[in-house]
A and B are shown apart, each in its own frame.
Chain A
Amino acid sequence: MAMKISDEKFFERVDKGVNNTFMRNAVVSAQERMQGKRLAAAEELGNWEEWRKLGEEIRTHTLQNLDYYLEQLSENVKKRGGHVFFASTKEEANEYITKVAKEKQAKKVVKSKSMVTEEIHLNSALEKAGCEVIETDLGEYILQLDDHDPPSHIVVPALHKNKEQIRDTFKEKRGYDKSEIPEELALFAREQLRQEFLSADLGITGCNFAVAESGSISLVTNEGNAGLVTALPKTQITVMGMERIVPTWEELDILVSLLCRSSVGQKLTSYITGLTGPKDEDDVDGPEEFHLVIVDNGRSNILGTEFQSALHCIRCAACVNVCPVYRHIGGHSYGSIYAGPIGAVLTPLLGGYEDYKELPYASSLCAACTDACPVKIPLHELLIKHRRKIVEDEKKSPFGEKLAMKGYQLAASSPSIYKAGTKSASSVMAPFTQSNSIQKGPGPMKPWTDVRDFPAPNKERFRDWYKKREKGGE
């Protein structure tokens, strides 16, 4: 699965999202619960703003000196006997990883959850090379079994599915014969996947944060699958986006603390695993061979631009969990594995405006995302910067907006046209109006009214009302 998850147009995707009642209810309840947990976890510290400030300082410094810290990281991995591959493109990354898989004659690959491997389309590259690839995060496993349904949330990928659907998928694909009780479903997945862990040739992980000073990588999970992926197979490959790095273990503490509290409201998740190189010579478990693949894939083009702070993201999804637009349209509408406010900022940067020019408009600019971000990325400001670029530099503003602006330009340039327009607005819109709101608007209004009502133009113009009022009327 690449970053792009749909060939449908933005509004077609939104239509599907808005009409999926289960998904919408699931998202609403997920947002409320996760937001509540995050706020409680932040409040409990008493000085959350200080933590955010420190997080921002660390991310800013690290990105400003990224070349230095990546060099230090790679030197230290090398000293511990690990291999490092710097991949400028997704093709280079996939080529290297499949080459290692072939050298190791790997047939079975187990993976722990990783957004960057989805972004580079790694699974299909490995499958083409003849490997069986098994996702082991419970949510990802469900999606993979269900014919590779795309994830709809960074932290809870199968959020859009209900337990009955999951039961049916297990039944159809794996002969499951028990109920839809979540514990039973999870136990079944545990048993199915345990055998896969024990017989896999290759383990692949993402990386929450690498630690430059020691050449370590860290993995943050609740299920314990990352521990199994890295303890049992003989070869481990870790794929990291090049910005996912901290200088020392001291900063790892801060960013892991911010991540756990902001994503799931936990002080720490059940498993935080710090791994350094392959296993030591006399160790029994752990990989004999370790490869770290550091991926650029468009990230360096963001460095040195007004969008650099987007690379500070630690993938906690706090912004997703507070976003009123995400709440209504759901993750799949973004057409990218990166959904929500950060997705609307990052996806056009990595995938280009041609495919993703609508995303910066999928925001009400309410700034809840900016307030929620644990490393203080000014998300709503970055969305405005995108809009400015789309309109001014790329001349790609959405058609409806262009038409409206053209119309306004014409109308505002002539007092008589403007007057005629405002006078006729109410009657022109009358066929679309029901009890003072427009629910199915024509033309450029359609995308708006498909998802919410638009207030109908008042029968009385403001100017007329004002004149009357001056004369002593109501």
Chain B
Amino acid sequence: MKPGKDQMKRYKGPVQVCIIGSGAGGAVLARELAHAGLSVVVIEAGPWLHTQEDFYNDELKMLDGRLDWDDLRITGGKDPLELGRVNTGRAVGGTTVHYTAVTLRLHEEDFELKTREGIARDWPVKYKELEPYYGKVEKYLAVSGPLHFPWPPFHGPYPHPEIPWSARDYKIAEGMVKLGLTPAKAPHAIIMGSKDGRSPCMMYGFCVHGCKSDAKSSALVTYIPDAVRNGAEIRDECFAVKINTDKNGLARSVAYYDKGILTEQEAEIIIVSCYAVESPRLLLNSASPGFPDGLANSSGMVGKNLMVHLGDNVIARFDTVLDNWVTPPVGIMNQDRYSTDPESGFVRGYTLEAYNMFPIEFFTTLVTANPHLWGPSLMDVIDHYACYTMLGNVGEVLPNEENRVTLAQEKDRYGVPVAKVTFSMDENSKKMSKESMDLCAEILEAAGGRHIERIPGTIHLLGTCRMGDDPRTSVVDRWCRSHDIPNLFVCDGSVFVTGGAVNPSLTIQALATRTAEHIIKHGKKKPNKPL
């Protein structure tokens, strides 16, 4: 699938576009821009893996640092975040290499919370503007989803038929129906038929440890090879440390370590797509006399408003074997509680998703949240592992300036300050977390589940370089172009204004497609004043 590195085009000297990061944002940009004939170089910190040769169907083997960002990061705040497999990646293809491939769209209301409910801020983009790009990405990734999707804004049909229901899906659906909730299979960027030489899903279930059968449409097997075919160059294991600016205040080049050697790549346009921790870290670390507070940071908003999603799970034991690990991790879902319910005592809502975890993740998260489980009570869970299933949420956590990414005292192996990630959960999210876990427990009980345990947690990282029309309160404009530096873009999960309550990758990919189209249309012309 992967075009050989020897066939890849190599650029010497300045190029038109240099993209830092090759994940959901960067890979899409690389493919779209290269497709339009621009010269594109992608700088990626992680290795370029071959799905069939380098991936193993094994959890511990895949924790060896080839997929995850395992460099030091300092965490703080009242509820320090866990930064691992659930929210951060490092490899060609970025976090999409180990994402669950759930491709849900944000709802219309997510883009205008301020107008509709007086909370947080509106996005400068509306759903209608993003809709065609959602459709384009779904078609490109050949999303498998239900014929009729019950919740707005998109009711299907999806390009491919939905992934088959597994035993646990039927069980949990039974519980949902008993409580009057609608179950539906989540749409996935996983192919159910052969496509471009990739085989259909084999139900290995190891999606989050690297899909060995190429069925999961991660950027590694879709956008990246397509970008290379169209003339983009991917430089893997290259670590960007600084963006240099010229005397006119434009971004001039990216300084990076290529296997330990400091190198520089000049480009007309530089795009930062390193996700919500590393993007602000790179901008802050690029401070210079002209930009003492870091690049694109005249608003002081770089690094602020870090958002996560609630990623709570509730486990239950059934009296039959469920083999929960079969089929991709996310199964059936429900969005009946997506919007604000005036009776609930909190604002906004959550998506419910049936989930599976392989033993290492299952038991480490279980005991981290429930340290009273040890000795015989732990072994009792271990003996019944095959009878357990889990139902969890993706809940909206609203932006808060106190939750932020800053630079720590500690330095990495290149002498660059590492990121410090400060996070405290607010009351609204705590209430939502409790209510949604209660509902999950009720559903599981209605389905016949017993021995219920709760595993609160968080997933995804968003919102540290938010977009907006006002340069005083946002980092990038509606096209993901920084307000301060006309040829510097930030395009990844960090531009989110609010996070919604769905897995963010599809929205990142849609935004990147739209940004790429804008760059192609307008070249490096100075932008018009925001509308």
Physical interaction between A and B: no
